[in-house]
A and B are shown apart, each in its own frame.
Chain A
Amino acid sequence: MRTYDTIPPGGARRRSVLGGAAAVAAGFALAGCGGGAEDEKAAPKERKKGQKITLTFWSWVPGIDKPVDLWNSKNPEVQVKVEKVSAVNGAQYAKMHAAIKAGNPPDLGQIEFPVVPGFLLDNGLLDLTTVGGERYKSRFVGWQWQQSVFGKGVYAIPQASGPMGLFIRQDLFDKWDIEPPATWDEYEAAARKIRKKGAWIETFAPTNGNRFAGYAWQAGAKWYAAEGDNWTVAIDDEPTRKVADYWEALVKQKLVKTIPDRQNAWYKDIQTGAIPAWLGASWGDALLVGNAPDTKGTWRAVPLPQWTKGANAQANWGGSTTAVFAGAAYPKDALDFAVWLNTDPEAIKLLIEGGYGFPSAKTGYKTSDLDVHKDFFGGQAYSQVFREAGDHVDTSWQWGPGVDTLYQRLGDAFTEALSSGDSFRSVLKKVQAQTVSDLKGKGLKVESGG
């Protein structure tokens, strides 16, 4: 699931706060801290027959109200109340972590795959196997189910993923006589041709750790591994170095921009054709349609360029789950809702219309259902591209705790490297060391791999 980062974060007036973090501490104090994990492990309550309850659900997915309304009309006894949270710069997770600490989290929450382990660290999520959650495994795409499995526990119900692909402006590529690149070498050649026409193929957004992880994932990197009691961190591994070298070369030759993506300046470039391509994910269709409506009909989706010609290595960017928080008063009902939301054909149809990504459920929809913006892509059955990408994502990729911090560290280090001219390899080295010490600081047993 993408994050919607066009709205600014809320903030206090500069002169009226007493130091941000101090104010934050005040918030915790007033909310009554404590509420530790221990008291939350009380036996889950069973809803009595006929008893009416209301579950709260924190989400930022546009159009989520519609499937929830459908559920509410079908389940008068278990009403779900959606509370929208801001998904800017991870504000939604900050809010969830704070609520967990304060002991009053909602019943359900929208959580992206990479941050699930971070919530486990807080004992924030309910192990769904305690209420029979493992029964639903067969209804979901295997690797996506696996993203929330740690040890014997199942910690979230997968909702959607984001297989990656390359969006291109077919009209401009035709005009400039450029074939859609099938390999990264061809991509670089295309970038060179496009630069000669005065445009830029893309931007290497230094702060977009999500997308960089996708590139590394495709190249065969494995940033985290959990074995026994140990975590292994390998951000500075051979595949990631290959990716870093590749993008560094593009940046140094000035073949790509270095502005942030999915921000005003980038949208402008997308609208005007100054950037005629985007290495995006399946959910990117809605983003292009919403922000560059005048380019209707000119876009196509093609598979991600490959490292070796004819290979079929794919990657995933984003993807989210519906999780039940530890301490939910009626976990069984919460689980029922989470499963229904993500497998019921009608619910999925409504979610697709809202533009939420690529369903994690195996059944209940056809790929053609996803082609909601077909006209925008000149009639191309573009979801097929992502469907096939989704089938070839390396399923052994695993996320570890503290991915938010990792992305921030990567962003800071890339930002620094771009201005100082340091090598991208030094970025990986630095972030590797920082991540190991971050996890140690959280009291985990960590080894450095790679």
Chain B
Amino acid sequence: MRRPTRTEARNARAAAGFLLPFLALFLLCFITPIVYAVWQSLHKTERTGPLGLGGAEREVFAGFANYAQALADDRFLSGFGRVLLFGAVQIPLMIILATVLALLLESASARWVTFFRSAFFLPYGVPGVIASILWGFLYVPGISPLVKMADAVGWQVDFLSRDAVLWSIANIVTWQFTGYNMLVLIAQLKAVPQELYEAARIDGANARQVALHIKIPLIRPALVLTCVFSIIGTLQLFAEPMVLRPLASSIDSGYTPNLHAYSEAFVGNNQHLAAAEAVLLALVACVLSFGFLRLVGQRGKGDGR
């Protein structure tokens, strides 16, 4: 075996110097919490002593008992059903809206482009909690100008009723993230070489045809990316129902899986069950996003690309 030269050794040291801080942070901030959550999810607390109070408390291995308990909980499962329904409706709507806005703003005849781009993006800068409070005021009867206006024309609306509240949340999420997704799509549109458009125009394509046959296929990777982000985001739905909960009698403490885990951890004080639920949530997010990627990946190959 050849001895490494001095330069090679120095290079290796330099590489390690660059890599170590990253690896340390990666271990501390990414791997450790995951390992700890999994460890927590496999344990439970056992108490002894009179009345169970003031006695000893210890952590014992519980196997998959927490997972079994989570999966046997109707409310946890129906929370999943709720976010999946939410995603199936809200994600396509939002992505279509974002795509249309991106195409409009990037079309040759668009005016005031920078103004509209910032205006649409602005809601993303508003934290989810603040956005939910803001919309909460627009939903609450007695205060909301929207409800008042609807009332004036004889239309009885209750944005916070059991049937409507999920879509009231969808509205907040769409308001917040359409502009963000639009910006991702615009970035990709900008990367398309102008010659392609010129060639299409020379071939006699009109604006609609250019959008449908050139622009959309070319921003496909960005579309896939925004979809995956949205799938993960939908499963993590938390701030909106959390903030609207005190305002609406229609959102319970297990409305979304994340809210359910939060309630278990901080109201029920059962971190072990909450950890199991978090791990399950992460698994579902993994399966769905990779499943989606596989699905569009295969279709992509079918297109001959």
Q: Are A443 and B46 in contact (CB under 8 A)?
A: yes
Is the pair A408, B56 in contact by a Cβ cutoff of 8 Å?
Answer: no
Q: Report the bound CA distance from A15 to B275 in whole Å.
A: 19
**Is B34's CB under 8 angstroms from A269's CB?**
no
Residues in B neighbouring A28, C-beta threshold 8 A: 36, 271
A21 touching B128 in the complex, CB below 8 Å, given contacts A265-B140, A442-B52, A445-B52: no
A24 touches B (CB below 8 Å): yes
A263 → B minimal CB distance (Å): 6
Tell me whether B252 and A443 are in contact (CB under 8 A): no
Indicate the member of A29, A37, A229 with the most B CB atoms within 10 Å: A29
- A404 within 8 Å of B (CB atoms): yes
In the bound complex, residues from chain B placing their C-beta under 8 Å from that of A23 are 33
> Which A19-55 residues have C-beta < 8 A from chain B?
19-26, 28-30, 33, 36-38
Q: Which of B252-305 contact A (CB under 8 A)?
A: 252-254, 258, 261-271, 274-275, 277-279, 281-282, 285
Q: Is B132 an interface position by the 8 A CB rule?
A: yes
Interface 0/1 of A95-123, CB less than 8 Å to B: 00110010000000000000001101111
Partner of A21, one of B45, B58, B246, B278: B278
User: Among the listed stretches A2-10, A67-75, A356-364, A366-374, which one makes contact with chain B, having 4 or more residues with CB under 8 Å of it?
Assistant: A2-10
A10-B129, A151-B50, A401-B52 in contact; A20/B142 too (CB < 8 A)? no
Q: Is the CB of A405 within 8 A of B267?
A: yes
> Does the CB pair B258–A21 fall under 8 Å?
yes
> 8 Å CB contacts to B: which residues of A100-157?
101, 117-118, 120-123, 127, 150-151, 153
Question: In angstroms, how far is the closest chain B Cβ from the Cβ of A237?
Answer: 21
**With a CB–CB cut-off of 8 A, which chain A residues contact B175?**
none
Check A226 for interface membership: any CB of B closer than 8 A: yes
> Which partner residue on chain A sits nearest B52 by CB separation?
A444
Contact B129 A9 (CB under 8 A): yes
Q: Which residue from chain A places its CB closest to the CB of B40 in the assembled complex?
A: A25
Size range of the chain A interface in the assembly: 35 or more
A15 to B250, CA, bound (A): 25
Complex CA distance for A88 and B246, rounded to whole angstroms: 10
The secondary structure that dominates the B interface is: helix
* CB–CB A412/B254 < 8 A: yes
Q: Given the complex, which residues of A lie within 8 Å of B5, measured CB to CB?
A: none
The reply to whether A418 and B249 form a contact with Cβ atoms under 8 Å apart is: yes
Give B43 Cβ to nearest chain A Cβ, in Å. Answer: 11
| B242 at interface by CB-CB < 8 Å | yes
A29 touches B32 (CB 8 A): yes
Identify the closest chain B residue to A445 (Cβ).
Answer: B52
Q: For the complex, is A298 an interface residue (Cβ under 8 Å from B)?
A: no
Tell me which residues from 352 to 390 in chain A have a Cβ below 8 Å from any Cβ of chain B.
Answer: none
Known: A11-B242, A416-B252. 7 other contacts (CB 8 A): A21-B264, A24-B265, A117-B53, A150-B51, A259-B249, A269-B142, A444-B52
25 A-B pairs with CB atoms under 8 Å apart are: A8-B132, A8-B133, A11-B243, A13-B128, A14-B128, A18-B33, A19-B258, A19-B281, A19-B282, A21-B275, A22-B33, A90-B267, A93-B266, A120-B54, A123-B57, A263-B247, A264-B247, A265-B140, A404-B267, A408-B268, A412-B254, A419-B162, A438-B268, A441-B270, A445-B52
The 4 A-B pairs of least Cβ separation, nearest first, read A26-B33, A21-B278, A94-B266, A444-B52
